[in-house]
Structure 1
C-alpha cells in the first residue's frame, strides 16, 4: 500500500475544467503525466466545499475493473457525473435526488437490470436489421446534401450532427420539425459548458445557475415525451418509444419520472455520442488521405475505422462511481463511500493497452476500448451506433473520392460528453 497520491492546484483544475477538454492534445498530455506518476490519485478542491474530493482513475486495467464490478462500485448514491456541491444541492432540492434525471445511467441493481431488459432486445442487431433500409436512405440523402453544399463544408453541421439526430428522433417518434428543439435541449444538457453550443451564456454562470438552466431543459424534455408516451399508449407502433410507453416492471407501469428519464437518455446520449465519433473518424481520414484511399478500395477495413473512431474520440469522457466497500485500486486504499472518476479518455489512451494511442489506426487489433463502458452498464445503443456509422461511411466512400482539411477543427468544452463542434472539410465528389 502506498501513501495517498494527491492532486491539487493546476493538475486538479485541468481534470475538471471543461475548457481543458477542448484542448485535446494538452488534455492527453495531462493524463499521460498523471497516469505515469499517480494512476489513482485523490483530487482535492482549491476552494473548500467547492466539490467533494474524489479518486481519479486513469489506467485502463483499473477503469475496466471498476466498470465491470457493479456490486463494489455503485452508480448511486452520489452523482454519476462530476458535479459541484452547489449543483448537487440544487438538484436535491428540486427533485429529491442527487441527479436531475433518473435513468438507466444512474440506477443500480436490482432496479437497473429490470429497466435495461425493457429495451435491450429492441437494440440487438437482429432487431436493428429492420432499420437498415431507412438508414441507407437517410445516409445517402445526407451525403447528397453535403456534396451539394461543397466543395467546402462543416462536416459537423452538415453530416455528423443531423444524421444520428434524425435516426434517434425517428425511433422515438419525434417529427423532423422538432429536431432542432431536441438538439438545443441536448446541448444545454451536455454542452452547457461551451458557449457556442449552449446558446445561453452558461459558460459564464455559477454552477447553481447552470443547473437551473439544465433543470429547465429537463422539464421541457419531460413535458415533450409525456406527450409522445400518451400517443404511443393509444397508438403503439414497433418503435422504441412504444416499448417505453407501454413497459411494466413487476407488473406496474414505469413511474412518470423514470419513464421521462428513459426517453431523455435515449434521446440525448443516442445522437451526441455517435455524432462525436463520426466527426472524429472523418477528421482522422481527412488528415491521412492514404488511409482514406485504402478504406475506399477495401471496405473490409470499415469496421476498424468505426471502432477506432469510437476509441480515439471517447465521446463519453467520464463517469463517477461510489465505493460500496473498502478496497484497493492501484495501490491506493479506497474507503467505503469514496467517490471515483473513471476517466475513459485517459483509459482509452493508456499506452499499456493501446500502443501509440494517439495514432488513428483502422487496423488496430485488439481494440477492446472502453468508450461504450463495460459490464452491466455497457452502452445500450452500441449496436445502433456502429450500424449508423458503418452505413454512413459506406455512403461517403461511394460518393466522395477524396477529403481534406479546410480549416481548423474545434472541440467542445465539456467534461462529460465531448467531441468536435466544427470540422471544416473540402470534399471531392467521386
Structure 2
C-alpha cells in the first residue's frame, strides 16, 4: 500500500500516549528506557504534538534506514528539528558546516575533518589524556569525596578541547557552560557569546596561525575554494559543542552504572584490558546523544509509515539501541555482545566525527578511576540530571577510601 492510503492507516495507530512525548524531559529521566519500550510496543512510529509536532522512530532498523536515506535532511533549512530549537537558532546566527549540510557539500567537509580526527590522532593523545585524568584525581584523592561528573568527566574534555583548539584554559568552564546552554535550551545569551568569540578567534588565528586544530582549518578547501570566515567559525563551534558535551555525559552515566553494578565494576577492576572493549556496550545502553532529527524533503515510507515532505522525524537512538528485535535482552550489559553497529554515535553520513577521540577519553577516564578509586560509592541524593537534547548529568557525588597523590605512594 502506498500514498494516502498508507498514511491514513498508520495515522490511526499513532496513539495518545505519544501525543505529549517530550524528549528533552526524557533525557533527564533516571531511566527512560522502560517508557520508550512501552511506547514502541504501543506504536513503533510515534507522533508527538510538542514543539510543533514531530514523528519518532524507535526501531533499530527504521532508525538506520532513516539515517541512510537522502530524502531525510539534517539541514535546519529542511526542518528546524523535533524540539531542537538550538538547531534553528544556531543556523540563523552562524551556519555550522557538516551539521547543517547534506550530500556532496557535507562529504567534502567531512573527508577533510576525518583526516584530522583520525583513529591514529586519537590514540596519539592517550598519554596526554592519562596525564589530565591523574591530575584531576590528584586534586581530590586525599579528601575521600569528589564529584565524578562536575569535577572529572566534565573537566577532562573541557581541558583537552581547550588544548587541542589552543583556547584559554582558564576559560574552559565558560566554554563548557556555553555548550551546555546551547544543547539544552538554545540560550540566546550563550549563543551570542559563542558567535562573538568565534569571530575574535578567527581574526587572531588568521594573523597568528599555529599548530592547533583551528589553525589547520584555515587551509581547508571545499567546492574548489578555501573555506570562508563564517564556515571556519561554524566548524570551530561544532568542535566545541561536540567535544565538550557528549563525552562528559557518557562518563557520568558510565560511572553511575558501575556504582550500581558492583559485579561489573569488579570484573573491570580485575582486568583493565577489558575496559576498552566494554565501552561500545556502555554506549549502546546509555546512548548519551539519545536522538537526532531530520526534515523530510520528499515523501518517503519508513517503518510502514508514509512521511510527507515537511514532516520532522526524530531518530531515537536510545530506543533503537534497546530494540529487542536487534539485541537479545537489550537492557542488560553483556560483555560478549557484538555491538560494533550500536547507535551510540549515531549512524550514516552524520556519524559522530569525534568518536575516536571520545573512545580514548572514556577508556582512560574509566581506567584511572578504577585504578585509583576502586571502591567509590554514590552519595545519596548526589546525582543530578538536567533536561537537554543529550542525557545530561551535572553532578555525581561519590565517596571513596582516601589515597595518595601520584609520586607520594
TM band (smaller chain): 0.7 to 0.9
Distance in 2 between the 1:219 and 1:258 partners? Answer: 16
Please state if 1:137 is matched with 2:97.
Answer: no
SS of the residue corresponding to residue 428 of structure 1 reads coil
Listed as ranges, the matches of 1:150-165 within 5 Å are 150-165=143-158
Greater alpha carbon shift after TM alignment, 229-238 vs 298-307: 229-238
Distance 1:361 1:282, change over 3 A: farther
TM-score normalised by structure 2 residue count:
0.88
Please state if 1:238 is matched with 2:231.
Answer: no
Q: After TM superposition, give the deviation of residue 167 of structure 1 in Å.
A: 0.9
Tell me which residue corresponds to 1:293.
266
Please state if 1:262 is matched with 2:235.
Answer: yes
Listed as ranges, the matches of 1:64-103 within 5 Å are 64-69=64-69, 71-76=70-75, 77-79=77-79, 81-83=81-83, 91=89, 101-103=95-97
Q: After TM superposition, give the deviation of residue 147 of structure 1 in Å.
A: 1.3
Listed as ranges, the matches of 1:245-284 within 5 Å are 245-284=218-257
Q: How many residues align?
A: 394
Listed as ranges, the matches of 1:104-143 within 5 Å are 104-143=98-137
TM-score normalised by structure 1 residue count:
0.84
Tell me which residue corresponds to 1:410.
384
The one-character-per-residue Cα deviations of 1:213-257 (angstroms, maximum 9, x if unpaired) are x33322211221233333333333332111223323234332333
Distance in 2 between the 1:68 and 1:12 partners? Answer: 27
Instruction: State whether residues 79 and 310 of structure 2, in contact with CA within 8 Å, keep that contact through their aligned partners in structure 1.
Output: no
Q: After TM superposition, give the deviation of residue 275 of structure 1 in Å.
A: 0.7
Distance in 2 between the 1:90 and 1:228 partners? Answer: 23
Tell me which residue corresponds to 1:201.
none
Instruction: State whether residues 96 and 238 of structure 2, in contact with CA within 8 Å, keep that contact through their aligned partners in structure 1.
Output: no
Structure 2: which 5+ residue stretches go unaligned? 404-409
Within the candidate set 14, 24, 35, 2:40 is matched to: 35
Distance in 2 between the 1:402 and 1:88 partners? Answer: 40
Listed as ranges, the matches of 1:330-369 within 5 Å are 330-369=303-342
The one-character-per-residue Cα deviations of 1:128-184 (angstroms, maximum 9, x if unpaired) are 333222212111112222313x32222111111111111112111112111121012
Distance in 2 between the 1:227 and 1:190 partners? Answer: 22
Please state if 1:16 is matched with 2:10.
Answer: no
Q: After TM superposition, give the deviation of residue 304 of structure 1 in Å.
A: 3.3
Listed as ranges, the matches of 1:288-327 within 5 Å are 288-327=261-300
Q: After TM superposition, give the deviation of residue 324 of structure 1 in Å.
A: 3.2
Distance in 2 between the 1:293 and 1:429 partners? Answer: 19
Tell me which residue corresponds to 2:179.
186
Distance 1:191 1:99, change over 3 A: same
Distance 1:283 1:83, change over 3 A: closer
Instruction: State whether residues 82 and 313 of structure 2, in contact with CA within 8 Å, keep that contact through their aligned partners in structure 1.
Output: no
Distance in 1 between the 2:48 and 2:183 partners? Answer: 23
Structure 1: which 5+ residue stretches go unaligned? 193-210
